[in-house]
Structure 1
Amino acid sequence: MAEILEPALDKARATAALTPPARQLHRWVLTVFIDTGHAPPRADLERMARDHGVDPAAALSELTTRDVLAVDEQGEIRAAYPFSPTPTRHRVTWDGGTGVHAMCAIDALGISAMLSVPVTVTSTEPDTNHEVTVQVDHNTARWHPTTAVVFAGTTAGACCPSVDRTCGHINFYTTADAAHDWATRHPEVTGVVLDQAQALTCGIAEFGALIRPLDQPAGEDIGR
């Protein structure tokens, strides 16, 4: 049975370690998601990089090696944490925005702090499809149902990107018992149950400062 504690975080550290050219390209990719709800095609990404004096192959290699982006065999984006280019069970919307799909529950919870706007997360519990909604305003949140939690699971080691080993197993559950029951039925997934405060703290720590200006030191949390 999963115990309640916080999982290891890595996206904030990985982003902070990027070279300036890779970080510039990464920030542009995230901005496209925010503005359109979709991933930029590889051709647009490469053109943007060249227009700004960035070697697209080198920058993209750095981004995927550090697992802040994941691409398919054609080089098209399949994950730009916290955003997913394809529908997931986690939909995030905000006033005046197009809305996005998040890669996982923790990613979804960090988007309000990242954008500095209130958001609504609408998700479903695995197996039952019971709805969980969370209204997040940076570091505060209202959960429905009020008993909801997050289970953060993984199926493999660090040899493959997060999209393959963790994202599909970090989900909202209507109760801690529901999360424990799911984990018991899926012994191939190891993980932890996070209460609401823990899950929100993880999301903010991972993504709250992800699109800060390129000249702002790591650790200073601003929005877009």
Structure 2
Amino acid sequence: MRITVLIVSDCPNAPVIEERIAHAAEGRGVEVELVEVADQEEAARLGMTGSPTVLIDGVDPFAVPGAPASLSCRLYRGADGRVEGAPSVVKLRRVLDAAGTSGDCECPPMDAAGRGGRGRLAPVAGGLRAVQQAVLRHFATTGDAPTVSELEIAADAHGRGAAEVLADLAAEDFLTLDDHGRIRAAYPFSAVPTNHRVRLASGIDVWSMCAVDALGIPDMLGSDAVITSADPITGESVTVTSTRGSMTWQPSTAVVYVGQRSCTGPAADVTCGALNFFTSHRTAHTWAEQHPDYTGNAVDQNHAEALGRSIFASLLTQPEPAGTSAHSQPLQG
């Protein structure tokens, strides 16, 4: 994939778009080229409708139908209605994801589980982290997803509405929403019953999206917990008891299959169906043979525990830096 940024000389938004593209394209292996356009004729030839114009493999994903070639400053409207001189990181990642679905692709192993190495901790800007952490704490204390109204205080501290922030979190795959804008899942939690139940030391039962998510919950909450699941092949129970950070598995032969079925899309769709507990390598292999649309492999207990810990342990231990909840803070994606 090649990203070309068309700018005019001394464009004040050139450093902004470069920085945002760097964040959005992290881990994707794309080529980025900055092209300075000198005159109107060249702008028309290259497809520039203002500075900066972003082209992905020669196509402007933000094109406005009928917009003329132009050397003037280009404006982009954000999800909150504000106008900026460059598309947000959220929007850039979205169009890069869409561009990456065309043609053949080779999926990095276990990539979707960790969002391409970017982790599950939402960025501070725009209230994303504040609302994400409010959602996770609500799940942990009640077992249920919060309503939009219950998140307004966290969002309002950043001058935004909760529904708006939730939409950004969903676009970045930190959570998923149903057709009515209600939270369906917020990794590692599911708002609906799944095959993976986690009973916390408080007595609260929560559902996790997958086996790896379940294994990450005790470390994320700093809580003892009992994870109960079932082998999809035999129906036999798999139990993992976490006590003071140490996990005991029953049966002792249990493993976790880690796989995915495509290169892009929310983890709820591309990986969660494959991240399951199995009583043994044999049943995991049987399941894999029955589901050729997934690629992956069975991992041992230590590997599975480490994966869950690496993805989720820091989600509630990294608060917002001081001074980031001002209403005037711009959304950077």
Please give the range of the TM-score, normalised by the shorter of the 2 chains.
Answer: 0.7 to 0.9
Q: Which amino acid aligns with 1:167?
A: C
Shift of 1:97: 3.3
Distance 2:215 2:130 in 1: 24
- Which residues in structure 2 correspond to 1:37-52 (within 5 Å)? 37-46=143-152, 49-50=155-156
User: Does the aligned pair in 1 maintain the 2:122–2:174 contact within 8 Å?
Assistant: no
Kindly provide the CA deviation profile for residues 29-64 of structure 1, in whole angstroms up to 9, marking residues without a partner as x: 011101110011234334652366433344223211
Q: Cα–Cα, structure 1 residues 167 and 68, in superposed 2: closer, same or farther, change >3 Å?
A: same
CA RMSD of aligned residues (A): 2.3
Shift of 1:213: 4.3
Q: Which moved more, 1:143-152 or 1:95-104?
A: 95-104
Partner of 2:303: 198
Q: Cα–Cα, structure 1 residues 53 and 36, in superposed 2: closer, same or farther, change >3 Å?
A: same
Partner of 2:172: 66
Q: Which amino acid aligns with 2:114?
A: D
- For 1:100, which of 206, 211, 223 is the aligned residue? 206
Which consecutive unaligned segments of at least 5 residues does structure 1 have?
1-5, 218-224
Partner of 2:293: 188
User: Does the aligned pair in 1 maintain the 2:149–2:162 contact within 8 Å?
Assistant: no
Percent identity over the alignment? Answer: 39
Larger Rg: 2
Q: Which moved more, 1:94-103 or 1:132-141?
A: 132-141
Kindly provide the CA deviation profile for residues 113-150 of structure 1, in whole angstroms up to 9, marking residues without a partner as x: 11111111000011321100001236421000000000
Distance 2:162 2:148 in 1: 10
Q: Which moved more, 1:174-183 or 1:40-49?
A: 40-49
Distance 1:198 1:188 in 2: 23
Kindly provide the CA deviation profile for residues 79-128 of structure 1, in whole angstroms up to 9, marking residues without a partner as x: 10000000001000122231200000000001111111111100001132
Q: Which amino acid aligns with 1:10?
A: G
Higher helix share: 1
Q: Which moved more, 1:165-174 or 1:90-99?
A: 90-99
Q: Which amino acid aligns with 2:166?
A: L
Q: Does 1:179 align with 2:322?
A: no
Aligned residues: 212
User: Does the aligned pair in 1 maintain the 2:187–2:213 contact within 8 Å?
Assistant: yes
SS in 1 for 2:138: helix
TM-score by length of 2: 0.59
Which consecutive unaligned segments of at least 5 residues does structure 2 have?
1-108, 323-333
SS in 1 for 2:238: strand
